[in-house]
Amino acid sequence: MLRLAGARLLGDRDYPAVHAVLAADPVASCMVSARVEVTGLDPWRLGGELWAADHRAARSGRLAGLCFSGPNLIPLRGNSSALRSFADRALRKQRICSSLVGPAEQVLGLWDELEPEWGPAREIRGDQPLMATDRQPAVAPDAFVRPVRPDELERYLPAAIAMFIEEVGVDPRAGDGGASYRARVAELISGGRAFARFEGGEVVFKAEIGALSRTVGQIQGVWVHPDRRGHGLGTAGTAAVVSRLVNGMGRTASLYVNSFNAPALAAYRRLGFSQVGRYATVLF
C-alpha cells in the first residue's frame, strides 16, 4: 500500500492554517482551540503536538488533516490517508495518551489503524452526541450552584474523584496518589471553572467547564450525589453552568454524552441543547 510521507509537526508559522481548521467547527475543536489560543503551537507551551497530514497540505496553506497529540490523542480532520499518517507518527514512540477522543469518524478511523499495536482498548464509546446551545437555558438555573472557592478544594475533591471513577471507570488517584488529578481540579477551581451546590458542607451537585475557547465552553464532569438523584438537581445545576457560559461569558455551551445515557440526553434537550455532531472515545 502506498503510504504518505508522514504527519508533519506544526509550529507557530502554521497558525493561520490551523486557525482555519479550528474555526470551521468551533464546537468540535473546542478542546484543542482552548490550548492553541493561549499557548500557540510550540509543543513545549502547548503541552502536546499538532500534526498536519502531510507536507503538501502545509505548503498550500490548507490542512487536509489535523491531529493533536498530548494527554489525549484528538484527530480533528482527515480522510483515511491522513489518519494513516497520524497513526504512523503515533506508533513511532510509546503511547502516552490516556484516550482517543474527538469527532467519531476520525477517532474510529484512527483506532482502526492503531488497534493492531495499541489494542485492545479498555472501552470504546463509539456514539457520543456532541451537543450545543447559545441560548439561555429553558430550565430555571439552580440559584445555589456557584463557582467553587480555592479554600473549598478539600470538600470538592471527593465529589470530583467519585465522578471520575463513575464516568471513566478508573481511580484518578492511581499511579501518583492523585497528585496530578488534584492539581488539575485545583487549576479548574482557580480559573473559576468548577461549580457546585453545597449542602451541609458536602457537594450534592458538581460540573466543570473543562475547555474554554474564545467562543465555546465545554461542560464536563456533571455529577449528582447518589442520594439526591432523581430530584432535578442535575438539570437545574447544569442550567446554572450553561447560563454562566452563555450570559456571563458570551460563549456557546457544549458537551458530549454517551448515546445510551437516555436520562442525560433527555435532560440536556430540556435545557435547550441540540445535537451538532458526534464524538467517540477510546479509553485505555
CA distance 33 to 284: 24
Tens digit of each residue's pLDDT (9 = 90 or more) over 35-87: 999 999 999 999 999 999 866 544 556 788 999 999 999 999 999 999 999 99
Q: Are the CB atoms for 254 and 218 separated by under 8 Å?
A: yes
Q: Rounded to 5 degrees, what angle do the CA atoms 59, 44, 8 make?
A: 25
What per-residue confidence (pLDDT) applies to 1? 33
Query: Residue 180 CB: number of other CB atoms within 10 A?
Result: 13
Query: By C-alpha distance, which of 119, 175, 147, 106 is closest to 241?
Result: 147
**Which residue shows C-alpha cell 453552568?**
241
Using DSSP bridges, classify how beta strands 72-77 and 99-103 pair: parallel, antiparallel or unpaired: parallel
What per-residue confidence (pLDDT) applies to 175? 87
| Domain coordinates in residue numbering, the chain | 8-120, 146-277
Q: What is the dihedral of CA 135, 137, 141, 146, to 10 degrees?
A: -40
Tens digit of each residue's pLDDT (9 = 90 or more) over 131-150: 999 999 999 999 999 999 99
The reported pTM is 0.93
CA distance 53 to 225: 44
User: How far apart, in Å, do the first and last CA atoms of the chain sit?
Assistant: 29
Handedness of CA 103, 264, 216, 206 (dihedral sign): negative
Q: Which is the CATH superfamily of the domain at 146-277?
A: Gcn5-related N-acetyltransferase (GNAT) (3.40.630.30)
Amino acid at 163: M
What per-residue confidence (pLDDT) applies to 101? 98
CA distance 80 to 101: 17
Q: How many CA atoms lie within 13 A of 51 on its CB side?
A: 26
DSSP assignment, residue 258?
Answer: -
* Each residue's pLDDT expressed in tens, for the chain with a length of 284 residues: 334 457 999 999 999 999 999 999 999 999 999 999 999 999 999 999 999 986 654 455 678 899 999 999 999 999 999 999 999 999 998 999 999 999 999 999 999 999 999 999 999 999 999 999 999 999 999 999 999 999 999 999 999 999 999 999 999 999 899 999 999 999 999 999 999 999 999 999 999 999 999 999 999 999 999 999 999 999 999 999 999 999 999 999 999 999 999 999 999 999 999 999 999 999 99
Percent of the chain with pLDDT over 70: 95
CA distance 186 to 183: 5
DSSP assignment, residue 245?
Answer: I
